[in-house]
Amino acid sequence: MNIPENLKYTKNHEWLKVEDNIATIGISEFAQGELGDIVFVEVDTEGESLDMEEVFGTIEAVKTVSDLFMPITGEVTEFNETLEDEPELINSSPYDKGWIVKVEMSEMSELDNLLSAEEYKNLIS
């Protein structure tokens, strides 16, 4: 199971890559494996400021619909639009081409509550 060291994680199986005050967000390799073939991703909150734990989108596998939760507070500044036509990138490249949104963080202290790679590994093992 690939759990990159340089990322932060949540108990909702999302990952964050933090660069200054911008967080790139996706779902973990474990999560995509549990969901199976991803067939649709919907994010209609671009440009909105959302609180931590608010729903920013939905991800649909063949048999399931799952909400995507904000791991931190901030504004959704960008949606990975290639996912509209190629949602399967989340399966094939969860940490790279399958990123979902970028968020401009407004509460940097929230980062302290996120899980390290080691802690996330313990969560799913």
Partner 1 sequence: MKKLVLSDVHESLGGKMVDFAGYYMPVQYSKGVKFEHQIVRQEVGVFDVSHMGEVFVSGENSLDFLQSITSNDVSKLTVGKVQYTCLPNADGGIVDDFLLYKIEENKYLLVVNASNMKKDLMWINDHNSFNCTIDNQSENYSLLAVQGPHSIELLQQLTDVDLSEIKYYNFKIGNIAGVDNVILSRTGYTGEIGFELYVRNEGTKQLWDALFSTNIKLEAIGLAARDTLRLEKGFCLYGNDINDSTSPIEAGLGWITKFTKKFVNSENLKKQKEEGVSRKLVAIELIDKGIARKDYLIVDVDGKEIGVITSGTMSPTLNKSIALGYVSSEYKSVDSEIYIQVRKKQIKANVVSLPFVK
Residues that bind partner 1 (CB under 8 A): 36-37, 39-40, 42, 44, 58, 60, 62-63, 65, 84, 91
* Beta carbon nearer to partner 1, 4 or 33: 33
CB nearer partner 1, residue 75 or residue 88: 88
* Residue 88 CA: distances (Å) to CA of 16, 37, 59, 83, 113: 19, 7, 11, 8, 30
Closest separation between CB of residue 65 and partner 1, Å? 6
State which residue, 40 or 106, has the beta carbon closest to partner 1: 40
Amino acid found at 35: L
CB of residue 32 to partner 1, shortest distance in Å: 11
Residue 116 and residue 46: Cα distance in Å, rounded? 27
Helix (H, G, I), strand (E, B) or coil at 66: strand
Smallest gap from Cβ 63 to partner 1, in A, equals 5
Compute the least distance from the CB of residue 44 to partner 1, in Å.
7
- Name the strands in the sheet holding 74-79, side by side, starting at the edge strand that comes first in the sequence: 8-9, 14-19, 22-27, 101-105, 74-79, 49-50
Nearer to partner 1, 1 or 62 (CB): 62
